[in-house]
Amino acid sequence: MLSNTTAGIHHVTGIASDPQRNVDFYAGVLGMRMIKRTVNFDDPTTYHFYFGDARGTPGSILTFFPWPDARRGRQGAGQIAVASFAILPSSVGFWIERFIRYHVDFSQPTSRFDDERVIAFKDPDGFMAELVAHPGAESRSGWQTHAVPADHSIRGVYSITLWQESCDLTGKLLTETLGFEAVREQASIFRYAAGDRGPGTIVDLRCVPGLWPGVMGAGTIHHVAFRAPDDAAQAEIRTELVSLGFNVTPQIDRDYFHSVYFREPGGVLFEIATDPPGFTVDEPLESLGQALKLPQWLEPRRFEIEALLPNIQTPMELHGPNA
């Protein structure tokens, strides 16, 4: 067992199509804070949006690459099919009313693992998500807007669900290298958790032998990042992964965290991201997400980049209750 293991999920990144619709849904309807507006560092003519709690705490973060012309993807085997978000048990009624009002495609709440109430829903691109009502949400922070008060706010990522042709090797990677423990099992779902095992630390592996393969595109999840406390811990995990034969990238500076990437045995892209430096590294906490931020190496091209990016209006909800 490594001395430095992950504390759970750092962020989840999905693919969207229309950037404005993406902001309207996550910052508007769901009331998450837009904590960073930047570009895709690997494709600087397109946006990269970050949503999360008030400060973008690791574990609260959902990010999107909105490609205006992206084709619709399809959930299937070899993918993270579902991203789940934590809410308080007392918020279920609030969210059902809100989803009805905004014509969100959702299902009536169901029970899972005795202590979870789950509202499955889809965003406008078909991204499969859930609100999971669980008492553990109490210990996680959120954001508040005019429309979504703090009591009902989304309390970060709850879990992710991987659909896998075969679950064994992924389970072994989670437990033997990344510091997860197998904690529960129900039907074809094998649950793993890291750290304090609360919201934001949970990975569900769902075995779906014979299911069609997933197709990457709008409405699908691109990758998940797990937390490393610092560069040294990340380097230790990286060394271990390399010794096991995984093809891991060198460390890449993502400005708000440092990352390494590799594909897990089922084909899903995994990232290990450091907690520091965080989202206040290039703008103050009060105004996170309001201005377009670029990495230093792209600043000389700002004029050209801004001209190519579509204009985005931020919903009122972005600016908090006192705006």
Q: In terms of Cα–Cα distance, which of 20, 15, 103, 17 is closest to 62?
A: 15
Cβ at position 36, least distance to Zn ion in Å: 12
Separation of alpha carbons 60 and 55, rounded Å: 9
Secondary element (H or E) of residue 164: strand 157-164
By beta-carbon proximity to Zn ion, the closer residue of 118 and 272 is 272
Cβ at position 13, least distance to Zn ion in Å: 5
- Tokens coding 272: 């290990």
Cβ at position 271, least distance to Zn ion in Å: 5
Would you call 22 exposed, middle or buried from its count of C-beta atoms within 10 A (0-12, 13-18, 19+)?
buried
Token pair 């970060």 is at which residue?
Answer: 156
By beta-carbon proximity to Zn ion, the closer residue of 94 and 262 is 262
Q: How does DSSP assign 78-97, residue by residue?
A: TEEEEEEEEE-GGGHHHHHH
Binding positions for Zn ion, rule: CB under 5 A:
13, 225, 271
By beta-carbon proximity to Zn ion, the closer residue of 271 and 317 is 271
Cβ at position 61, least distance to Zn ion in Å: 9
By beta-carbon proximity to Zn ion, the closer residue of 87 and 157 is 157
Pairing between β-strand 110-112 and β-strand 61-66 as defined by DSSP bridges: unpaired
How many residues in total does the chain contain? 323
Which residues on neighbouring strands pair with residue 225, listed in sequence order?
A: 11, 271
By beta-carbon proximity to Zn ion, the closer residue of 148 and 225 is 225
Cβ at position 274, least distance to Zn ion in Å: 12
Nearest residue by C-beta to Zn ion?
225
Cβ at position 223, least distance to Zn ion in Å: 6
Which positions ≥6 away from 166 have C-beta within 8 Å? 207, 209, 266
Cβ at position 138, least distance to Zn ion in Å: 27
Cβ at position 125, least distance to Zn ion in Å: 18
Which positions ≥6 away from 261 have C-beta within 8 Å? 223, 248, 249, 252, 269, 270, 271
By beta-carbon proximity to Zn ion, the closer residue of 112 and 222 is 222
Cβ at position 52, least distance to Zn ion in Å: 13
Q: Contact at 8 Å (CB) between 261 and 269?
A: yes
By beta-carbon proximity to Zn ion, the closer residue of 13 and 46 is 13
Alpha carbon 83 to chain centroid, angstroms: 7
By beta-carbon proximity to Zn ion, the closer residue of 9 and 208 is 9
By beta-carbon proximity to Zn ion, the closer residue of 82 and 87 is 82
Q: How does DSSP assign 106-151, residue by residue?
A: E---EEETTTEEEEEEE-TT--EEEEEE-GGGGGS-----SSS-GG
Q: Contact at 8 Å (CB) between 84 and 129?
A: yes
